[in-house]
Amino acid sequence: MFIEILLILISWVVKITGGVSSKEGDFKLQTVGMLCHSGKPADCLSSQKEMANAASGMAVHDDCKLRFLELKAKRTYRYIVFKIEEKAKQVIVEKLGEPTQSYEDFTASLPADECRYAVYDFDFVTEENCQKSRIFFIAWSPDTSRVRSKMIYASSKDRFKRELDGIQVELQATDPTEMGLDVFKSRAS
């Protein structure tokens, strides 16, 4: 909660000072127009993509999108854990969970003192006795993780989530109880 408020305040200050403008939730530097002098649409799109990466802080590796599509369409994985590689300034796939792996395997794959993003394919049976599935996006930010790491993950979350088309439920968890099976079951229906 504190981090979300801090991020809102930071983005508000940046907007007031004129460094960044907001258009439909997408942050773009006001200098995008100056970077597109060539008039070529490809150059402008490239500049805008770079600006989106700069605003969120992290690029998304193509493997993240590919693995997510495999989870969504083919059910190749039960879960995927993503990690921000700070030196490369991009989100990468850290771990893939086989379809036979359990929820306990998933929670054990999340580090106790480091932030991560994860998607989990949750199977459940409705009150009408129908087998269903929901894809959960989990922003894992334990209280014991570094503040810098929390800030990076919080500021990159929305952009990363937009790259994963098909997320049905989002959870933000700071400890395992906030993403227990009971929480999954209540949010899935």
Q: Residue 158: is its pLDDT beyond 80?
A: yes
pLDDT bracket for residue 1 (50, 70, 90): low
pLDDT digits (tens, 9 = 90+) for 25-45: 444 333 333 334 444 444 444
- Region 148-156: mean pLDDT is 95
Would strands 116-125 and 169-173 be described as parallel, antiparallel, or unpaired?
A: unpaired
pLDDT at 10: 63
Which structure tokens are listed for 188?
């899935």
pLDDT at 47: 42
Length of the chain measured in residues: 189
pLDDT at 180: 93
Q: Residue 23: is its pLDDT beyond 90?
A: no
pLDDT at 28: 39
Would strands 59-60 and 90-97 be described as parallel, antiparallel, or unpaired?
A: parallel
Tell me 178's DSSP state.
Answer: G
In one-letter notation, the amino acid at residue 3 is I
Verdict on whether the full-model pTM lies above 0.75: no
- Please give the residue that has the higher pLDDT: either 157 or 39: 157
Contact 167, 134 (CB under 8 A): no
CA nearest to 139, candidates 151, 149, 154: 154
| Domains in the chain: ranges and CATH | 2-56 (no CATH), 59-188 (3.40.20.10)
- Region 157-169: mean pLDDT is 95
pLDDT bracket for residue 67 (50, 70, 90): very high
Mean pLDDT of the chain: 81
Which structure tokens are listed for 67?
């693995």
- Region 120-140: mean pLDDT is 95
Angle between helix axes 62-69 and 147-163 (nearest 10 degrees) is 60
pLDDT at 189: 79
